[in-house]
Amino acid sequence: MAGFNFTFGQVISYLASMLYGQVDATSSSTRIQATQDLYDFTAKFSRLSNIAYCINAPFTPLRTDFTCGESCRYFPDLQLDSVFGGNFSSASTTGYIAYDHKKKEKYIVFRGTFSIPDIITDIQFQTAPWLTSLPTHLIPTKEDFEHKQAILKHYAAENKGLSNLEERQDVVHEDPSLVPKKMDKCENCQIHDGFAKGFNETIEHAGPQIEKFLGNNTDYKMFVVGHSLGAAQAQLFATQFKLLGFDPYMINFGQPRLGNPEFAAYINQLWFNDTGLVVNDARRFYRVTHWNDIVVGVPDWLNYTHSIGEVFIDEESVYPKLDKVVVCEGGENPLCHRGTFNLWSRINFLQNHLAYIFYIGLCAFNIGRRDVLNMPQYQGNFSYQHNIDPNYNYDTKVPTRISKSN
């Protein structure tokens, strides 16, 4: 099979990288503490990512009225527009589209690996050119690029850099070598072949739904979200939407490396005018990583590297303290995910790949609000609840504001 022609050296490199992660670190080790607002913002999209795993789930499937057992109760105002995904043999990614008309927000959320075809997509590590084999009208034109560059110049004038961080620390020095250099095209960009195929096939299978999503409610904030395999697709789709002239937010969790340094550099300059430390109303890109999440550390060969935009959770389990969530400078910061290593934790990969403030991936089993290591207390109504959940009011049956003290 053409998609699985690995050399012996690549196999050995893959196995070694699962434990060690050998990509060169970036020059900066600067990181700053996240604010409470950023913590709450990230937690919201962790829950939305979890709900994607309820699509076609056997116990608590995502229904047309946006119910799915415990996980959906946090979003009483969301309306499900549609779900999408290919057939069993397809590389197409599964996900859903939803709207919150009260908040004037719309969401497209991509599910992570949950099936054999998803696994096949994940392991096609060889690289492929970016933005090829797409329908012609979905490939950004020269005019699209020129329009985007004009917007970027205006954005650069508005975003003055680190002045917005004064309330968090006295002095932060950007590493000048990490400030993105603007470019009008992505020369020599290569991305993960499986993710490229998944992107193309998702466009093919869900094209009408996605075009409807882009064309509807254009005054709403647009959020593109995903976890794991879905995190990779979230970045690719959000970038595609941005190049087509839209203004999406991209929030993903546990994203593997997507492409080569040329691709990472292009992503950097398209989404950022700083080194990844600025968090303000203008920021649109949040790549959330977790302590010893093995998926974030692969692929570690064929010149793969991360882009900037990392928000790192430096705590082992769910409900991390606020001071354990940090914003990182650079794409491979040695004091963020790139620098974490614990042999047992990397072997125990599911714990660290699912624990993103809340657990992502457990919606299908209706256990989205309890620690996997602690058995839940059954409360009736076909739902599980844990009596120490800090974000749920058991009297009113509604979520409460997340508040994490240092």
pLDDT band at 209; cut points 50, 70, 90: very high
Lowest mean pLDDT among 5-9, 59-63, 173-177: 5-9
Q: Which two structure tokens, joined as six digits, stand for 86?
A: 């290919």
Question: Does 199 have pLDDT greater than 50?
Answer: yes
Q: pLDDT value at position 343?
A: 65
Of the segments 50-59, 75-84, 192-201, 391-400, which one has the largest average pLDDT value? Answer: 75-84
Residue 149 has pLDDT above 80, yes or no: no
Q: What is the pLDDT of residue 385?
A: 37
Side chain identity at residue 349, one-letter code = F
What confidence score (pLDDT) does residue 399 get? 43
pLDDT in tens, 162-191: 333 333 344 466 788 888 888 878 888 888
- Listed range (2-16, 266-280, 320-334, 336-350) with the worst mean pLDDT: 2-16
Which DSSP string do the residues of 33-60 spell out, in sequence order?
EPPHHHHHHHHHHHHHHHHGGGTT-SSS
Model pLDDT for residues 218-268, shown as the tens digit of each residue: 999 999 999 998 999 999 999 999 999 999 999 999 999 998 899 999 999
With cut-offs at 50, 70 and 90, classify the pLDDT of residue 193.
confident
pLDDT, position 131: 52
The domain 24-399: what is its CATH number? 3.40.50.1820
pLDDT(376) > 80: no
Instruction: Flag whether pLDDT at 19 surpasses 70.
Output: no
- Which pLDDT score, from 0 to 100, does residue 75 have? 96
Whether 11 contacts 191, CB under 8 Å: no
In this prediction, residues 285-307 reach a mean pLDDT of 87
Tokens of 292: 């010893």
pTM: 0.76
- State the average pLDDT for the chain: 75
Q: Is the pLDDT of residue 374 over 80?
A: no
* pLDDT for the residue 311: 97
Query: What was the pLDDT predicted at 400?
Result: 42
* Closest to 46 measured CA to CA, from 281, 374, 353, 306: 353
* Dihedral pair phi/psi, residue 227, rounded to 5°: -130, 135
**At residue 387, does pLDDT exceed 60?**
no
Please tell me the predicted confidence (pLDDT) of residue 302: 66
DSSP codes, 101-155: TTTTEEEEEE--S-SHHHHHHHT--SEEESS-S--GGGS--HHHHHHHHHHHHHH
Report the percent of the chain where pLDDT is more than 70: 65
How are beta strands 384-385 and 377-378 bridged, if at all?
A: antiparallel
Cα(179)–Cα(158) distance, integer angstroms: 16
Locate the domains of the chain by residue range: 24-399
